[in-house]
Structure 1
């Protein structure tokens, strides 16, 4: 079952693109420099930064250049469910 979200997939794509671009700029890299490091063509990076459109594989290649893959991988881990009441704590 899906939870209601106020975010759209497009908004998330745009935020991911903005984050990669910001991290690239902090490192002082041009798109071409990131392209050389990641193997993702510079025109693809430009398209990603302006539209949010990119393949998952290419996104991962970019991410591993600007941040740790472990940080991205951590998003796949389920959050620990904490008790919501004293009764639940006592039952455990």
Structure 2
């Protein structure tokens, strides 16, 4: 965990749920439509949208239905490390 991060795991779960909701609504899909397209039960989608809690596999299935998996996997690519101190910032 980054020492500079103010996000909690719950914050991230809620933001991921919000992202799925936004994409579902942009497509004008009901939860039932998303359930049919993703094979994730509508009741699970409802719980996920309310709490952010879902299995990783089910999240991937939902994301695949609303967006490209490549966009999700791109999050695993290494990024440039954030400076750990002001001295590191001043060196660049």
Give the TM-score normalised by structure 2: 0.85
Q: Which runs of 5+ in 1 are unaligned?
A: 87-92
d(CA) in 2 for partners of 1:51, 1:80? 32
Q: Which protein has the larger Cα radius of gyration, Structure 1 or Structure 2?
A: 1
- Spell out, residue by residue over 1:42-73, the C-alpha distance to the aligned partner (whole angstroms, 9 max, x if none): 00000000000000000000000111000000
* Runs of 4+ residues deviating >6 angstroms: none
d(CA) in 1 for partners of 2:17, 2:80? 28
State the partner residue of 2:46.
46
d(CA) in 2 for partners of 1:80, 1:73? 17
Task: Provide the secondary structure at the position in 1 that maps to 2:14.
Answer: helix
Give the TM-score normalised by structure 1: 0.85
